[in-house]
Chains A and B, each alone.
Chain A
Amino acid sequence: MFTLDETDLAIMHATQSGLPLTPHPYQTIAKQLGLSAEEVMSRMINMQEQGVIRRIGVVPNHYKLGYRFNGMTVWNIPDEVIDELGEQVGQLDFVSHCYHRPRHLPEWPYNLFAMVHGKSQAAVDQQIKVMSELLGKDNQGHEVLYSTEILKKTGFRSGG
């Protein structure tokens, strides 16, 4: 576990809602925190190398780009093959997040979660077909849960 010190945390708090849109954004952050731009940059590079910063870039709003069909696909996959198949599903270009999560038997037999995004129901149906074919006989059942309403969405973000 990489331990963040107070300066790292201050940089994190100053940037987690966004980078300043100024020609020298790291300098802008440095000024706010009373640090040098070099220190802010070297600490951010370090956090990136340690995986504390997953990526730096734009986060588009799915809906605004026309991706109105966002499904959480859930699959029941034998534990012996889940890592191998999870990696393969994660590589599909339409999957944004792919995780192994615990089952809650008997009501919840699914252990592989993959979020998919499409501009139409037909596009998502096609993606699910591709996944079904990839998983083949190791797919012991699946469902797709569409979100019907965002009940809460805070500024907190962890990635993806």
Chain B
Amino acid sequence: MDTIDRLIINQLQSDFPICETPYQVVAERLGLTEACLIERLQALLDNGTLTRFGPLYHAERMGGALTLAAVKVPTERFTEVTAIINAFPEVAHNYARTHVLNMWFVIATESLAQQQNTITAIEQQTGLRVYNMPKLNEYFVGLKLEA
């Protein structure tokens, strides 16, 4: 990663324009050529420095439901429970974390009713209580990570 890559990452975390030739517009602003910008973005995606480039959609505004949930998994059952929970297509992300509540996952469904059904099904299949922690208020989402 060189200074041009850093410039692109730092300047392009939001506000990519919606217009006919957006790469041209951004490239001019950054003092690059359009071809160079496109090539750099492709390389940063290919080598995994960027996980994605494009619009980020807000699930709840589209009528969907999202929640964060946690379970206390006994150490000896960790692999088995991971497999059960990950098998649910509604489970979008799942992380092991340092706590008694040691597994944390995001459930994304089209409705609240489906969210409740998914939680019930996870509880039945794992025999573990699911601690449901839907957001009550959002104070901030988004971050500029300095490259």
Interface residues of A (CB under 8 A from B): 1-4, 12, 15-19, 21-27, 37, 41, 44-45, 47-48, 50-62, 64-65, 67, 72, 82-83, 86-87, 89-91, 93-102, 104, 107-108, 111, 113, 117, 143, 145-154, 156-160
Contact = CB atoms under 8 A, between A and B. Distances in A.
B49 A146 contact: no
Q: How many B residues are at the interface, by size bracket?
A: 35 or more
Nearest to A16: B57
Contact of A97 (B45, B141, B147): B141
Contacts of B49: 60-61, 64-65
Contact of B24 (A23, A87, A94, A159): A23
Contact of A19 (B20, B54, B96): B54
A59 B56 contact: yes
21 contacts: A23-B24, A26-B20, A53-B57, A54-B56, A55-B55, A59-B51, A60-B13, A60-B145, A89-B140, A99-B135, A99-B138, A100-B138, A102-B132, A102-B133, A148-B97, A148-B98, A149-B95, A150-B94, A152-B85, A152-B93, A158-B59
Given A83-B137, A101-B68, A56 B16 contact: yes
B104 to A, nearest CB: 7
Contact of A59 (B50, B94, B137): B50
A11 B145 CA distance: 28
Contacts of A154: 92-93
A71 to B, nearest CB: 9
B143 interface: yes
